[in-house]
């Protein structure tokens, strides 16, 4: 595994199962709620995913199954690829309680052998903190393209690259200095960052959390990378920040299609 993958695997494996139980609840309770209202878990993404019944979906970096299991409840055949065993443990327990099948591959996606998965998925779906885990975006977009069937669709929701120039890059973290400008939008080196859930633990324990290594991409790099992999861009939808600064973009969703024979 490359250095970035190793570091991020360690970070995402640290106390993750414990966190999911504390934050979301016991697998049996979470499963019950997902069965009751699966679409709520998919937020606005359901609009872009469409009717998923009978669809084969790769939920890349799908974490503890908060999106994959509701998709399976709605009738999709879902495969998660994620680097953390802890996430798998929680996701598999919830899926079992919900009575749905879930294929869960624990792997660094950049090192996953996809030979058996080429041209096999209707949708590749990723959301909520994805692209900064990869140092080579072209390699990732080509892999995703290869996994899709002709006519297949990419639905990618991620944090907006504009956050690169704010002092606080985490768009969930509301602080007075959140929007103070700093840094360089065009920087391209790896940065040390906290694992997303670290701040949900008591302050005294936060220092013990292993850190992540992140590469923050610009919007131009993201769109160019998926376009050069062969995708036809259908839509790029930008949405506001999650805090009170609704006049600034916080996230985006890229919808793109694979329409022709693999290059
Ligand atoms: C912020 S989460 C994404 C949100 C997630 N889709 C959800 O349902 O909550 C990022 C996920 O990426 C995984 N991850 C990080 N680097 C990875 C890599 N190189 N390959 C596969 N998974 C990775 C982490 O384990 C984590 O579950």
CA-nearest residue, atom 19 of ligand 1 = 108
Residue closest to 144 by CA, chosen among 154, 135, 134, 129: 154
Ligand 1 pocket member 157 (CB < 6 A): no
Ligand 1 pocket member 12 (CB < 6 A): yes
One of 2.70.98.40, 3.30.1450.10, 3.10.20.440, 3.40.50.150 is the CATH number of 3-257, namely: 3.40.50.150
Query: Which stretches of the chain drop beneath a pLDDT of 50?
Result: none
Report whether 79 contacts 69 (CB < 8 A). no
Mutate to test the pocket of ligand 1, among 2, 8, 24, 61 (most ligand atoms within 8 A of CB): 61
Domain boundaries, the chain: 3-257
Residue closest to 125 by CA, chosen among 65, 45, 195, 47: 45
Distance (Å) from CA 13 to ligand 1 centroid: 11
CA-nearest residue, atom 27 of ligand 1 = 63
Distance (Å) from CA 164 to ligand 1 centroid: 20
Q: Which tokens in the block code for residue 191?
A: 């940065």
Look at residue 195 in the predicted model and tell me its pLDDT. 78
CA-nearest residue, atom 11 of ligand 1 = 61
Report whether 145 contacts 231 (CB < 8 A). yes
Distance (Å) from CA 113 to ligand 1 centroid: 18
Residue closest to 54 by CA, chosen among 119, 116, 122: 122
Helix, strand, coil abundance in the chain, percent, nearest 5 = 40, 25, 40
Q: Work out the end-to-end distance of the chain between its first and last CA atoms, rounded to an integer number of angstroms.
A: 27
């Amino acid at each position: 595994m490359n250095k970035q993958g190793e570091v991020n695997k360690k970070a995402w494996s640290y106390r993750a199962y414990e966190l999911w139980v504390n934050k979301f609840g016991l697998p049996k309770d979470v499963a019950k709620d997902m069965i009751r209202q699966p679409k709520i878990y998919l937020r606005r993404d359901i609009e872009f995913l469409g009717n998923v019944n009978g669809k084969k979906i790769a939920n890349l970096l799908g974490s503890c199954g908060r999106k994959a299991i509701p998709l399976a409840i709605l009738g999709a055949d879902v495969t998660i690829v994620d680097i953390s065993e802890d996430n798998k443990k929680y996701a598999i327990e919830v899926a079992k309680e919900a009575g749905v099948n879930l294929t869960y591959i624990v792997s660094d996606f950049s090192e996953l052998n996809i030979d058996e998965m080429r041209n096999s998925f209707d949708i590749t779906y990723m959301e909520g903190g994805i692209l900064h885990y990869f140092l080579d975006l072209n390699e990732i977009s080509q892999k995703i393209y290869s996994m899709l069937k002709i006519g297949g669709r990419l639905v990618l929701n991620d944090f907006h690259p504009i956050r690169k120039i704010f002092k606080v890059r985490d768009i969930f973290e509301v602080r007075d200095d959140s929007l103070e400008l700093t840094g360089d939008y065009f920087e391209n080196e790896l940065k040390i960052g906290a694992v997303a859930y670290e701040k949900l633990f008591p302050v005294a324990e936060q220092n013990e959390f292993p850190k992540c290594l992140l590469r923050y991409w610009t919007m131009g790099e993201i769109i160019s990378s998926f376009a050069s992999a062969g995708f036809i861009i259908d839509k790029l939808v930008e949405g506001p920040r999650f805090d009170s600064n609704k006049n600034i973009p916080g996230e985006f969703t890229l919808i793109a299609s694979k329409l022709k024979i693999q290059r």
